[in-house]
Amino acid sequence: MSQTKERIIAAATHLFNEQGFVNVRLQNIADELSISVGNLAYHFKNKEAIIAKAYEKTGNELKIILSTYRASPDLRDLDFQLDAYYEFIKKYPFYFMDILEIKRNHPHLHEDRKELIIKMRVQFEKRIEYNQSRGILNRDMEEAQMIQLADNLCTMVTFWHTSQAIKDECDDLSSFKCCVWIQLVPFLTTKGMEEYEAFIKPGLKVI
């Protein structure tokens, strides 16, 4: 992609983050770059093309985060990935905040994003199973309970920023990670609590 196209996508992403993609017009993007709409249209024929490229770019960054799965053999694996998820959420709030609008207006983009969210949820399921196998999480958890826990964790990541914005509540890394970890702590074994106390809790403000 050319430097000009990169600048256009960066400007559009900035506006999508601030205003929501449905409220941003080509003129707004052109004004952000101090160019004409005609110049903008030379590179992207319409707003839909810009949205598609912006979602492709952000989706690729999310794929990189998902590829870091099981980078560590202990609970720090999830903690490291939560850091990356939070950075992504703060960098691209529009990606999750505009979910319904994208589903209604750009179903093909929604399907691409849905695949990534499903992969995220599956990773949570596999992490739970893995940590059960090494005695960190309770093995007595029913399968339905495990699936629901994984779904809750995925939902928390996906809708964290939206939820905090609606409630006008604190949106920082530690608060985000505390809300995720508090879902898992009740299921930790004695061995799991020892690992949690050693590697995770020192980096949190709460719990």
Query: Any idea how long the chain is?
Result: 207
Q: Which residues contact 81 (CB under 8 A, 6 or more apart)?
A: 65, 68, 69, 71
> How far is it, in rounded angstroms, from Cα 42 to Cα 45?
6
pLDDT for the residue 194:
98
Cβ neighbours, 10 Å, residue 131: 23
The beta strands (E) that lie in 39-192 are given as: none
Task: Look up residue 201 and give its amino acid.
Answer: K
Phi and psi dihedrals of 2, rounded to 5? -70, 165
Cβ neighbours, 10 Å, residue 7: 14
pLDDT for the residue 31:
97
pLDDT tens, residue order, the chain (207 aa):
799 999 999 999 999 999 998 999 999 999 999 999 999 999 999 999 999 999 999 999 999 999 998 888 999 999 999 999 999 999 999 999 999 989 999 999 999 999 999 999 999 999 999 999 999 999 999 999 999 999 999 999 999 999 999 999 989 999 999 999 999 999 999 999 999 999 999 989 765
Residues 123 and 66 sit within 8 Å (Cβ to Cβ): yes
